[in-house]
Amino acid sequence: AQRVTQPEKLLSVFKGAPVELKCNYSYSGSPELFWYVQYSRQRLQLLLRHISRESIKGFTADLNKGETSFHLKKPFAQEEDSAMYYCALSGPLTYKYIFGTGTRLKVLA
């Protein structure tokens, strides 16, 4: 069964500290992994996707098929990074799109 697990409900870090939001998944086949972000009073929006291998707002995520993980990382957190982050999974042969339970990131001054 498809499943996305985000073990941390809340992650608090100080400004300038490194950040890692964990995401593990379960999927039979080759998944497509995404990170979405919801800033306060804004719509849920795409942050990055593994297929693009991009860095957005200093965030990166590497797909580790052996550990079935797609952790989101940033070397130096900023206060504006405070938001709700969702890891999501889809697949090349399905339209189904599954989200994890989300991690709220709080960056403290």
Is the Cβ of residue 9 or residue 109 nearer to another protein in the bound state?
9
Q: Can you count the helices (H) and strands (E) in the chain? A: 0, 11
Q: Which range of residues in 53-61, 64-72, 73-81, 97-105 is near another protein by CB under 8 A?
A: 97-105
- Nearest 5°: the CA angle 13, 89, 28 is 125
Site string for another protein, 2-41 (x = CB under 8 A): ----x--x----------------------x-x-x-----
The H or E element containing residue 103 is strand 103-108
